[in-house]
A and B are shown apart, each in its own frame.
Chain A
Amino acid sequence: MISRFWHKNKIPLLFLSPWLIGVTILAFIPMIASLYLAFTNYNMLQAPTWVGLENFNTMLNSDSRFFQSLKVTFIYVFLGVPLQLIVAFSLATVLNRGVKGLSFFRAIYYVPSILGPSVAIAVLWRQLFGMEGIFNDFVSIFGLEPQSWISDPSTSLYTLIVLLVWQFGSPMVIFLAGLKQIPSDLYEAAAIDGAGPAYMLFKITLPLITPIIFFNLVMQIIGAFQAFTPAYIIGGGTGGTLDSTLFYTLYLYIKAFTQFEMGYASAMAWFLLVIIATFTGLLFLTARKWVHYQD
């Protein structure tokens, strides 16, 4: 059986082998290991000991920082992603109007998406919204008191959401491609029937672009749940003042590498997988109701 499979697929498998070996060693085996570790007490220096469901029990019943990290992450995802998509969509419609130098603007707007999750930008953000930052010069025009937006617990998370929204480039490019697919005769027909721009937006553009919205929503939500770098850099690796920027992944990192609780951190990682799978699954379930594919 195996030998027949091997005989038949020898050449494709050989060509695939670099990737196959990589994915097995670097992704598959560590994943299995972390699934095992999730049920153990493991400090990385001594052999893990089996504790059953204790990690999950502690996590859900007596870890206040865990719930803080969930709260922070949920606000980040469910406020940041929709905002980001609204900005991306609005700009895509503007660019779709046939602006001169379209490819230039498209490139310019795309740049933040490439730079976004990097350490350099996070450091820059820290400077922008810090006590001595440019943002304070800006708000002082409106007579507001300068403050440190990064370390004030009531504003710090929102600076990170702004950073997420600012990376609207990649969903924008996808929106733009989607907008270009909409046949122009639909708009012409609507115009003849006397439809205004708002009517066209809600009755033609949005329904026809729902598959793209759906795609962007799923991708960005998955990405946002896993955000790590901005919070790590801006909060100095600690989750910020009053844990106001303690992202889920950051807390996971703290558990694993500063508190030496790799077992607990593995449990958290698998729990995150469940959360993301749940929300993605929910999106797919509701998709039947609002996503219209052109057949």
Chain B
Amino acid sequence: MKKKLLLLLMLLVTSILIIACNGDEDTVGEDSEGTDNGSGEESNDEGSASEEEVEIRFAWWGNTERDKKYNEILDLYEEQNPNVTIIREPSTWNDYWPKLSTQVAGGNAPDIFGLHLLLYGNEYFTKDVIEPLDSYVDQGLVSLEGWDQSVLDAGTYNGDLLALAKGVTIQALITNKSKIEGLGLDAPPAEISYEDFKDYAATAAEALPDGEYVTVDPTLIGEHGIEMWVRQQGGSLLTPDGSALGFEKEHLTEYWQYWAEMREMGAVPPANISAEQAGVPEESTLFAQGKQLFQDRPTNQAKMFADLLGDAELAITRYPVMEDGEFRGGEQLQVPAIVMSQNSDVKEEAAKLLSFFVNDLEATKIYSAENGLPGTEPVRENLEGSLHPMDQKAVEHMNLVTEDIPKTTIRPEGAVQITELYQSYSEQVAFEQMTIDEAVDAFFEEAATILGQ
């Protein structure tokens, strides 16, 4: 009796294993079938002509809400192209990058995947991983009709067009206008200088109860703040070749001093609360709970906070400007883009899907400026009536900002290590483990070692 039971159990386990393995084999089999014949067929303007079954792998980062939009768009494409099956590979932002780099290293990158150009552009552009799109544009598979040159430039490397923007967005201060007015204050103007912002924050901090703050401590949420600060003064985070820091010690000293004063006056939370805030879900952030007046984020996230805050009226305030700086603003255009893998077996089909995703009016309407404003005129026009009110404000904001910022740069290789180093010394300062002068010296010394390698 016992033996029989054991035998049965083993049989069960084995069959589960076989089934599990089988599932994989099936997809592999179909995949290679599609490619063997796919290369021989002539491309045709009509999607209906290619009747070969193809599978396209498509990866993106996001959350469950965003996944719904992607799925809807990809379902639509499958409906219009019955021969195409799209394998979807969604991840959260944090998991996306390790997964992608591992896949690329293993030679099984998704056919189409998302790439954040500002942060990761050069890590991938320089390594023969991404398929240039120019030949597909010439064949008419990818349309560039109505695209802004500046947005195309952002995705071009060494003269090759590698990436098309899913959207363009800019860091700003999302502003809880209702809350400010509730304190008996006026909302700040759309543009405000660093000095005026400090005075404004001082007044607001006085009016706020304990446990509520004016804005986020930008020194503890990454490198956007310092990068804008040095760009406004004619510098950059790193020199274009990535061999040295693009700014001087006094830039960093003044920046850390500015925010240390804000911390002292209670305009930004103390370091331990900021540190805790960095890891909480969006709905638990102080801003989403109505305990903070400004939120330091890209403008495409304004609509998410509008939803989280219910009936509060939000506005978008520009990141503080420097009237006496070399540039008034230092914002970078942030371009989450979409690219094709050089290893793809179904390049022509992938090119069509890629073009569909960024150009098709129906698809982009579903996407609804999720990753920021589209870089193409016809799509923007088509969205005009249906945009979320916060996205309409983001359009105004973008028009305002693009007038006086330096050219957006893609960070050179090695930038990731420098930004992590910067973050660690920012924490040393905020937690008062080091004086600002000590931290500046140590940061510059260590950065030189890293970049000198």
Q: Do A and B come from one complex?
A: yes
The interface of chain A, by Cβ under 8 A from chain B, is 43-46, 58, 62, 64-65, 126, 130-131, 147-148, 150-153, 236-238, 241-243, 253-254, 257-260, 262
| Cβ–Cβ contact B276 & A243, under 8 A | no
C-alpha spacing A259/B417, complex, angstroms: 6
B415-453 interface mask toward A, CB cutoff 8 Å, 1 = contact, 0 = none?
Answer: 011001001100110010100000000000010010001
Q: Which of B57-65, B121-129, B181-189, B249-257 interfaces with chain A?
A: B121-129
| Cβ–Cβ contact B424 & A44, under 8 A | no
> A37 to nearest B CB, angstroms?
11
A selection of 5 A-B contacts at a CB cut-off of 8 Å is A43-B127, A131-B273, A241-B275, A258-B98, A258-B416
- The residue on B at minimum CB distance from A257 is B98
Chain A residues, CB < 8 A from B102 = 44, 257
| Cβ–Cβ contact A243 & B424, under 8 A | yes
Chain B residues, CB < 8 A from A65 = 424
> A110 to nearest B CB, angstroms?
23
Which DSSP category, helix, strand, loop or mixed, fits chain B's interface? Answer: helix
In the complex with contacts A43-B127, A45-B127, A151-B276, A242-B101 CB distance below 8 A: no
> Does B399 sit within 8 A of A, measured CB to CB?
no
Chain A residues, CB < 8 A from B275 = 148, 151-152, 241
> B393 to nearest A CB, angstroms?
30
The interface of chain B, by Cβ under 8 A from chain A, is 94, 97-98, 101-102, 104-105, 123-124, 127-129, 271-273, 275-276, 278-279, 416-417, 420, 423-424, 427-428, 431, 433, 446, 449, 453
Which DSSP category, helix, strand, loop or mixed, fits chain A's interface? Answer: loop
Neighbour of B104 across the interface among A44, A131, A259, CB < 8 A: A44
Neighbour of A242 across the interface among B123, B273, B424, CB < 8 A: B424
In the complex with contacts A44-B102, A151-B279, A241-B272 CB distance below 8 A: yes
- The residue on B at minimum CB distance from A255 is B417
> B339 to nearest A CB, angstroms?
13
In the complex with contacts A45-B105, A153-B431, A242-B424, A258-B127 CB distance below 8 A: no
> B322 to nearest A CB, angstroms?
30
| Cβ–Cβ contact A148 & B273, under 8 A | yes
- The residue on B at minimum CB distance from A246 is B424
> A58 to nearest B CB, angstroms?
8
C-alpha spacing A153/B427, complex, angstroms: 10
| Cβ–Cβ contact B98 & A241, under 8 A | no
Chain A residues, CB < 8 A from B124 = 45
The 6 closest A-B pairs by CB, nearest first: A44-B105, A257-B98, A151-B275, A45-B127, A236-B279, A151-B276
| Cβ–Cβ contact B276 & A46, under 8 A | no
Chain B residues, CB < 8 A from A238 = 423
In the complex with contacts A131-B273, A242-B424, A243-B424, A64-B446 CB distance below 8 A: yes
> A153 to nearest B CB, angstroms?
6
- The residue on A at minimum CB distance from B272 is A152
Chain B residues, CB < 8 A from A152 = 272, 275
C-alpha spacing A58/B446, complex, angstroms: 12
C-alpha spacing A172/B263, complex, angstroms: 48
| Cβ–Cβ contact A241 & B104, under 8 A | no
C-alpha spacing A258/B119, complex, angstroms: 11
| Cβ–Cβ contact B105 & A262, under 8 A | yes
C-alpha spacing A44/B128, complex, angstroms: 12
Chain B residues, CB < 8 A from A253 = 98
Neighbour of B101 across the interface among A45, A126, A151, A236, CB < 8 A: A45
Chain B residues, CB < 8 A from A257 = 97-98, 101-102
Chain B residues, CB < 8 A from A262 = 105
Chain B residues, CB < 8 A from A46 = 127-128
C-alpha spacing A262/B97, complex, angstroms: 14
In the complex with contacts A45-B101, A257-B101, A151-B272 CB distance below 8 A: yes
Neighbour of B431 across the interface among A43, A44, A242, A259, CB < 8 A: A242
Which interface residue of B98, B104, B278 has the most chain A CB atoms within 10 A? B98
Chain A residues, CB < 8 A from B433 = 242
> A26 to nearest B CB, angstroms?
14
| Cβ–Cβ contact A259 & B97, under 8 A | no
In the complex with contacts A44-B105, A241-B431, A259-B416, A130-B127 CB distance below 8 A: no
C-alpha spacing A152/B427, complex, angstroms: 11
- The residue on B at minimum CB distance from A253 is B98
| Cβ–Cβ contact B105 & A148, under 8 A | no
- The residue on B at minimum CB distance from A256 is B98
Chain A residues, CB < 8 A from B98 = 253, 257-258
Chain B residues, CB < 8 A from A243 = 424
> A69 to nearest B CB, angstroms?
12
> A90 to nearest B CB, angstroms?
34
- The residue on B at minimum CB distance from A46 is B127
Chain A residues, CB < 8 A from B453 = 58
C-alpha spacing A262/B416, complex, angstroms: 14
| Cβ–Cβ contact A237 & B94, under 8 A | yes
| Cβ–Cβ contact B449 & A62, under 8 A | yes
Chain B residues, CB < 8 A from A43 = 123, 127
> A36 to nearest B CB, angstroms?
15
Chain B residues, CB < 8 A from A64 = 446
In the complex with contacts A147-B272, A237-B94, A242-B424, A45-B104 CB distance below 8 A: yes
C-alpha spacing A153/B430, complex, angstroms: 12
Chain A residues, CB < 8 A from B123 = 43, 45, 260
> A33 to nearest B CB, angstroms?
12
C-alpha spacing A130/B417, complex, angstroms: 29
Neighbour of B276 across the interface among A58, A130, A242, A259, CB < 8 A: A130
Chain B residues, CB < 8 A from A151 = 272, 275-276, 279
Chain B residues, CB < 8 A from A131 = 273, 276
- The residue on B at minimum CB distance from A130 is B276
Chain B residues, CB < 8 A from A126 = 279
C-alpha spacing A95/B448, complex, angstroms: 59
- The residue on B at minimum CB distance from A42 is B105
Neighbour of B278 across the interface among A236, A254, A259, A260, CB < 8 A: A236
C-alpha spacing A131/B433, complex, angstroms: 22
> B129 to nearest A CB, angstroms?
6
| Cβ–Cβ contact A242 & B446, under 8 A | no
> B61 to nearest A CB, angstroms?
14
- The residue on A at minimum CB distance from B424 is A243
Chain A residues, CB < 8 A from B279 = 126, 151, 236
